């Protein structure tokens, strides 16, 4: 069984070509190299854990240079793409934002990375909302935290929409190159036959896990139609052993049980009209489904800002200056509403 868009004609809509990516990344500097030469060296990082129900979630807490525990600081939760772990784009953005004076946390969603949760590598819309709400509670309990916001990259831009619509403790959100998906896109992306087969595969795995504890998995990303996976994409960030593929806590795996939430339930577009806090949307023409980012923005009925940058989607995970474009949009927005 192969999970891929219904037609190759959709590939330009969803994903830029590998040639474009290679051309762009060859002339840019890795964000990690940039971090080694900036004042982010004075940002401190601490391993943390916090509870969500009976689950232990593993994260990182970043404090700005010159941190004074008796002062009050604005705080940000930073989360990344589907399947990502904290050591990927969340840590990259967290360092850059902590350099600007924010206290920042990122963490592995339940069932991913070093966090608890079964079945492993599972997508849960409701579960991720609970994870984010637990992160808000963690920050609230720190004596030096004032207002709290969230920055969601890619899929977590959509998860940020759920948080904003359902938790009034959050003061503002920013969605960076967001995956503003809605289930109406499923048929043109994957095709009816694949949707039906994978729906049944998901139900079978859910029953199998409940009965035996066994969890069948597939790849979350595949770059060839000959190899099965949830998302058919060049995905060079994930396959490159010098980029995302180098992160030891990340696996190119997803539970078959995740299909229903990932494809049939996840719907950040439906949350836009419920959001009552300031919202920033940052995207580009070469991001994934950029028209969906514009659609989400158009449906917001609150204070909002749309910033349109330049650059290829996956370069906003770890490449300079693309990431700095997003940070330059996020920082003044969050200062305005969190300080």
* Interval 2-25: pLDDT, tens: 333 333 333 333 433 333 344 344
- 231-232 and 254-255 as β-strands: parallel, antiparallel, unpaired? unpaired
DSSP code for 262: I
pLDDT band with cut points at 50, 70 and 90 for residue 32: low
Hey, is 25 helix, strand or coil? Answer: helix
Residue 27 pLDDT more than 90? Answer: no
pLDDT at 234: 76
Phi, psi of 41 (to 5 degrees): -60, -25
**Within 119-278, where are the H helices?**
125-140, 155-166, 186-190, 192-212, 236-239, 259
Residue 236 pLDDT more than 70? Answer: yes
Residue with more model confidence, 55 or 7: 55
pLDDT at 98: 98
Q: What share of the chain is helix, strand, coil (3-state, %, to 5)?
A: 45, 20, 35
* DSSP bridge pairs for 231: 221
User: CB of 320 within 8 A of CB of 29?
Assistant: yes
Mean pLDDT of 74-97: 98
pLDDT at 34: 62
pLDDT at 235: 83
pTM for the model stands at 0.91
**How far, in Å, CA of 144 to CA of 121, rounded?**
34
Tokens of 200: 């049944």
Domains in the chain (CATH in brackets) are 8-338 (3.40.50.1820)
Residue 319 pLDDT more than 90? Answer: yes
Mean pLDDT of 224-241: 85
């Amino acid at each position: 069984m192969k999970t891929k868009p219904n037609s190759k004609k959709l590939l330009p809509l969803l994903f830029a070509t590998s040639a474009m990516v290679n051309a762009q990344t060859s002339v840019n500097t890795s964000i990690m190299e940039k971090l080694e030469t900036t004042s982010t060296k004075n940002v401190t990082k601490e391993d943390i854990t916090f509870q969500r129900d009976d689950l232990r979630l593993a994260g990182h807490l970043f404090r700005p240079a010159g941190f004074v525990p008796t002062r009050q600081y604005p705080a940000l939760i930073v989360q990344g793409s589907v399947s990502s772990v904290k050591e990927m784009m969340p840590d990259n953005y967290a360092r850059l934002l902590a350099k600007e004076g924010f206290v920042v946390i990122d963490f592995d969603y339940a069932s991913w990375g070093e966090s608890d949760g079964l079945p492993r590598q599972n997508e849960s819309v409701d579960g991720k909302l609970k994870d984010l709400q637990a992160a808000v509670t963690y920050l609230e309990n720190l004596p030096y935290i004032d207002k709290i916001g969230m920055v969601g990259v890619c899929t977590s831009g959509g998860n940020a929409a759920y948080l904003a619509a359902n938790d009034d403790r959050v003061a503002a959100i920013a969605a960076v190159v967001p995956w503003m998906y809605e289930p109406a896109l499923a048929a043109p992306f994957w095709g009816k036959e694949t949707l039906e087969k994978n729906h049944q595969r998901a139900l079978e795995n859910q029953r199998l896990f409940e009965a035996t504890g066994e969890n069948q998995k597939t790849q979350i990303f595949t770059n060839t139609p000959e190899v099965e996976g949830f998302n058919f994409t060049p995905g060079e960030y994930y396959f490159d052993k010098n980029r995302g593929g180098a992160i030891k806590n990340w696996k190119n795996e997803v539970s078959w049980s995740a299909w229903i939430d990932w494809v049939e339930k996840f719907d950040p577009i439906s949350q836009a009209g419920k959001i009552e806090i300031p919202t920033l949307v940052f995207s580009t023409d070469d991001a994934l489904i950029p028209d969906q980012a514009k659609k989400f923005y158009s449906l917001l009925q609150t204070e909002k800002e749309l910033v349109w940058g330049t650059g290829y989607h996956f370069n906003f995970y770890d490449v300079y200056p693309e990431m700095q474009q997003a940070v330059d949009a996020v920082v003044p927005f969050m200062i305005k509403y969190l300080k």
